[in-house]
A and B are shown apart, each in its own frame.
Chain A
Amino acid sequence: MNDKKRILIVDDDPDFREAVAYFLEANGFVVFQALDGAEGVRLARLEKPDLILMDIMMTERTEGFFTIHEIRLQPELKNVPIFVLSSLCTHLPDFEIPLSGGWLAHDMFFAKPVDTAQLLAKIRQRVGEAA
Chain B
Amino acid sequence: MEERPIKESARPEIVVVIDDEYPIRLSCEKILTKMGLRAETFEDGACGLDGVARLKPDMVIVDLKMPGISGMEVIGRVHEIDPLIVIIVVTGYATIDTAVEAMKCGGYDFLPKPFSPDELRLIVNRGLERRRLALEAARHELEQTMLKRRFVTFVSHQLRTPLVAIHQYLDVLRNLDETGDTEARRREWLDRCLARIEELQDLIKDWLTLARVEGGTLFKERIRIDLNCLVADILETYEQTAAAAQVSLEAHLPDNHLLVAGDRSCLSVLFDNLITNAIKYNKPGGKVTVSGSESRGEVVIAVADTGIGIAEKYRPFLFEEFFRVKEDGAGKTGGTGLGLHICKQIVSEMGGTIEVASEAGAGSTFTVRMAAWHDPEAEAGSKSDERQEANIDCG
Contact = CB atoms under 8 A, between A and B. Distances in A.
Interface of A: 13, 15-16, 18-20, 22-23, 26, 57, 59, 61, 87-88, 92-95, 112-117
B189 A19 contact: yes
B152 interface: yes
B164 A23 contact: no
10 contacts: A15-B165, A15-B166, A15-B168, A15-B196, A19-B189, A57-B157, A87-B160, A113-B167, A115-B171, A117-B175
A118 B336 CA distance: 32
A16 B166 CA distance: 8
Contacts of B189: 19
A88 B169 CA distance: 20
B168 A20 contact: yes
Contact of A19 (B150, B161, B165, B177): B165
Given A13-B164, A19-B165, A92 B156 contact: yes
Contacts of B132: none
Nearest to B153: A94
A93 B149 contact: yes
Given A19-B169, A59-B326, A92 B164 contact: no
Nearest to A21: B172
A87 B164 contact: yes
Interface residues of B, number: 27
Contacts of B166: 15
Contacts of B175: 23, 116-117
A16 B164 contact: yes
A93 B152 CA distance: 8
Contacts of A57: 157
A78 B165 CA distance: 30
Interface string B326-355: 100000000000000000000000000000
Interface string B159-192: 0110111111101100111000010010001001
A13 B172 CA distance: 16
A34 B366 CA distance: 34
B22 to A, nearest CB: 53
Contacts of B172: 19-20, 22-23, 116
Contacts of B160: 87, 112
Contacts of A59: 326
Contacts of B326: 59
A34 B302 CA distance: 39
Contacts of A18: 192
Contacts of B192: 15, 18
A15 B169 contact: yes
A13 B176 CA distance: 21
A81 B156 CA distance: 29
Contacts of B185: 22
Interface in B115-168: 149-150, 152-154, 156-157, 160-161, 163-168
Given A19-B189, A23-B175, A87-B157, A92 B167 contact: no
B1 to A, nearest CB: 12
A56 to B, nearest CB: 10
Contacts of A88: 157
Contacts of B157: 57, 87-88
Contacts of B150: 94
B319 to A, nearest CB: 19
Most buried by A among B152, B153, B166: B153
Contacts of B167: 113
Given A23-B172, A113-B163, 17 more contacts: A15-B168, A15-B192, A19-B165, A19-B169, A22-B172, A22-B185, A23-B176, A26-B177, A59-B326, A92-B152, A92-B156, A93-B153, A94-B149, A94-B153, A112-B160, A115-B171, A117-B175
